Amino acid sequence: MTEKTVLVTGGAGFIGYHLTKKLLNDGYRIVSVDNMNDYYDPHLKEDRIRDIGNHGSSYVFIPVDIADKEALNQVFDQYQPDVVVNLAAQAGVRYSIDHPDSYIQSNIIGFYNILEACRHHPVEHLLFASSSSVYGTRKTAPFRTTDFVDHPISLYAATKKSDELMAYTYSHLYGIPATGLRFFTVYGPFGRPDMAYFKFANKMVKGETIQVYNHGEMLRDFTYVDDIVEGISRMIVCPPDENEDGDRYKIYNIGNSHPVKLMDFISILEKAIGTEAKKEFLPMQPGDVYQTYADVSELEKDFDFKPKTTLEEGLTRFAAWFKAYYHLS
């Protein structure tokens, strides 16, 4: 048990929901904020909050947009969090092509507001979500956190790289212990309907055709959400030590470190759902990448942890949740 208060932004989101449940179980007090936007069905977010349930004074949910600086500062003033886990962001690579404003508002302005709040309300540790998309079209694999990542090919990726740079600056100037987490294709129950596995499942059960990009020639390092949450929970109480420059800042990959071919992924999902998908093969989409592959050696070294859930296990659990949630036979 712990007396620490953790602020989870994006707390009604996919990872935020699972992390909140884990941290409540571990004895933390959780302050959860989310703007409940309609990028995907808000009812899913509402159901996540309902599923978390009533934990008395240990859990509070506040509908706040991190881009609203005054409202965010009021949360910091009132609850004085010891740790901040920033998961709030406008997600999605393809969506950023046509809706750039929302990415600047949430991922840049919103994260700047988080950094400013941590500056004026000192915290023990700031953890923030980055993304494997920062690696761009990198051809050498696995992807290492020491790799050159200055060529993002989507605005989403550019905002995540910007977050890393801003966090480093604030850590250096104001002594904020900060850890960035590059997530690799997170999936699982209560997931995001805009992601491929969820969209595929929806279309498969309706007998509709799924769109398979780059004619199926892609590799993805799919990471089950429980592994992501386990990694974060281990990091919370372990802010970075000072490096040779006196900075307390670190970036980690969190991925399964086992890329899977897209067509193999579809086959596993078909088996889990119990139906064969109709497929339409299309070219690569703008902003998309051929492969992702996480090197997690730093994660193993510092936290004795490596994601281990197989895709077969993870998609079976997702399919069971999906069928129950949507009342499918």
What amino acid positions are annotated as catalytic residues? 156
Total residue count of the chain as it appears in this document: 329
Any idea of the CA torsion for 92, 95, 99, 102, to the nearest 10 degrees?
-20
Label residue 287 left, alpha or beta by phi (over 0 means left) and psi (-120 to 50 means alpha): left
How many angstroms separate the most distant Cα atoms in the chain? Answer: 59
As a whole number of Å, the end-to-end CA separation of the chain is 40
Please report how the helices 111-120 and 69-79 are oriented relative to each other, as an axis angle in degrees rounded to 10: 40
- Which DSSP string do the residues of 229-288 spell out, in sequence order? HHHHHHHHT-PPPP-TTS--EEEEEES-S--EEHHHHHHHHHHHHTSPPEEEE-PPPTT-
